[in-house]
Structure 1
């Protein structure tokens, strides 16, 4: 098929030309693009010299490839549709770093998707992105895609297997500019948070700060999680070892990439691990999270867990847009309950058999915190 130009609410999707390649080279050199793009990088001179010719061959084979331009004719991104199965195409796109935050991807997605459904007789358009690419995910859901799950080791990125979010769009699913999905503003806020580096937090407690978990914490993490008092109240593997800690650090990073959890280390003035505190968002109602924590035996009695809980809940409300934070603890865990009450949680009652303990299901206290309670 011959190339087709599309108009997209102030953007133009046009066939690739040599004049685009200087800016495309800059796009491919951007660290965020390199982090999530699957193609070989750095971009070779061999690939660049043949790029326009390659895109022309794609068009001829019925796989549209567009350069995305703004009103001035400047390159602001790329867009592609590729045949995957009968009556199905896969969409891929990139936004230039100098055009982020302008809705480029979502506008171009709408135009390309309409072309796929109307001109190419598609019945479904598929989308995927490496888990952690919250910008691509946000643009996809804003344009009308439904995120359908995670494909484990769904792609190989420069020799490394990576998990992928996967989703799809059917005819009639395209969302217009004035029709955002429910809770889109909150999703956008959280996407921006999880795309950035995890910030270090000051708690106001002398000698304490909250920072991300790191490899140097593993021995102290293992010692803390193997301690009798922690084992009594927290659902952890029995006989906790350094190997369990090494596995856990991978889980923490994966949950961060998915936007499911924000976990911090309570560190002392020497940067030693002194406990963990976490906001768990995954699998809960939009705008809600659960707070969990435990403290190393060498750091108890300083008021640090309460200071850390206040700091992390403040981040949850201010940065993640949470509306309600829940707390749970096995009945009898008086130390955890004191921290929750000092933080501002209202204890709402007991839920019978809420969690598994060493001898079967155990009852748990439950409580809640709202922004006004923390203030």
Structure 2
């Protein structure tokens, strides 16, 4: 097929030309783009020299390839590729100098409609390496449904990576005014998880919150093997350094997926002193969990850490409600929750608790205006 130019609310999707190459090289050199593209990098040599010719060949095969322009400036790329009968796959990139202006959303709508109306598609598929929250956000905003995670779904420069997968059907494209109710929450969380990980001050001398590190794992294993921790926290009964190693990998995976925000308590010597976590659930909701190392108990540190993480949840993650639960009898955890401002709502019977089977648990909730 011959190249087709599309208009998209101030954008033009046009065939690639040599004049685009310098700006495209700048796009591919961006660290965030490099983090999530699967193509070989750096982009140079034959790959760059043959790029325009290759895009022309794609058009001839019925696979549209567009340069996305705004006021004559390259601001991204857009592509549709035949994958199965009546199915296309969409891929897109936004230039770093054009982020935050809805470029991907506008271009996606135009490309998707073209695929349905002109190429006979009955479904358009999308995927992105897990952690690419910007791509995921743009897909959701324009009507795609995220359908799951394909483990080792893509191969990126010698490494297998998990990827989110999803799709859109005819009639599901969201117009600019048709905003998903939870889009604002998802946008704040996407920005948070894409940003560089931060350390948090607690207002308590000698205590700060920071990301977990490999050098914490011996102390983490000792904390989780502690008798009191074992009694109240849902953990494997025989907790070893190997258990801590597994959890370390799991923490990174859950952060990339946007499922969990975990920090460790670090003292003045930067020693691990416990963990505090928000486990994200339905949009706007999360569950708070925490435990303290034996050598750091009795200082009020866990209350300060829990309070600080709840503040972050409300201020930066768009949370509207945080829940807490603890095995009935865990008075220390309950005191922390009540000091932070949680209202204890009652008891849930027979909640799963690690190797101990099912035990009754207290449950509570916290709203932004209730922080103490």
Q: TM-score, normalised by structure 1?
A: 0.98
- Native 8 Å contact 1:82 1:89 kept in 2: yes
- Native 8 Å contact 2:82 2:89 kept in 1: yes
Q: Which residue of 2 aligns with 1:196?
A: 195
Q: 1:68 & 1:357 partners in 2: Cα distance?
A: 52
Q: Give the C-alpha shift of residue 119 in structure 1.
A: 0.7
Name stretches of at least 5 consecutive residues in structure 1 with no aligned partner.
Answer: none
Q: 1:34 & 1:182 partners in 2: Cα distance?
A: 31
- Native 8 Å contact 1:203 1:209 kept in 2: yes
- Native 8 Å contact 2:236 2:355 kept in 1: no
Q: 2:356 & 2:116 partners in 1: Cα distance?
A: 57
Q: Which residue of 2 aligns with 1:103?
A: 102
Equivalent positions of 1:3-82 (< 5 A) are: 3-70=3-70, 72-82=71-81
Q: Give the C-alpha shift of residue 355 in structure 1.
A: 2.3
Q: Which residue of 2 aligns with 1:2?
A: 2
The alignment partner of 1:76 has SS state of: strand
- Residue 324 (structure 1) aligned to one of 291, 297, 321: 321
- Residue 334 (structure 2) aligned to one of 328, 332, 337: 337
Q: Which residue of 1 aligns with 2:347?
A: 350
- Native 8 Å contact 1:317 1:323 kept in 2: yes
Q: Which residue of 2 aligns with 1:92?
A: 91
Moved >3 Å (runs of 4+): none
The alignment partner of 1:79 has SS state of: strand
Q: 1:359 & 1:269 partners in 2: Cα distance?
A: 35
Q: 1:360 & 1:63 partners in 2: Cα distance?
A: 55
Q: 2:207 & 2:84 partners in 1: Cα distance?
A: 55
Equivalent positions of 1:156-167 (< 5 A) are: 156-167=155-166
Equivalent positions of 1:116-265 (< 5 A) are: 116-265=115-264
The alignment partner of 2:273 has SS state of: strand
Cα root mean square deviation, aligned = 0.8
Instruction: Say if 1:357 and 1:54 are closer, same or farther in 2 by CA, change over 3 A.
Output: closer
- Native 8 Å contact 1:355 1:364 kept in 2: no
Q: 1:240 & 1:354 partners in 2: Cα distance?
A: 21
Q: 1:321 & 1:105 partners in 2: Cα distance?
A: 23
Name stretches of at least 5 consecutive residues in structure 2 with no aligned partner.
Answer: none
Q: 2:271 & 2:145 partners in 1: Cα distance?
A: 43
1:39-73 per-position Cα deviation (integer Å, ceiling 9, x unaligned): 11111221111100000001001110000000x20
Matched, 1:286 2:283: yes
The alignment partner of 2:114 has SS state of: helix
Q: Give the C-alpha shift of residue 359 in structure 1.
A: 3.9
- Native 8 Å contact 2:350 2:361 kept in 1: yes
Q: Give the C-alpha shift of residue 285 in structure 1.
A: 2.5
Q: TM-score, normalised by structure 2?
A: 0.99
Q: 1:357 & 1:64 partners in 2: Cα distance?
A: 52
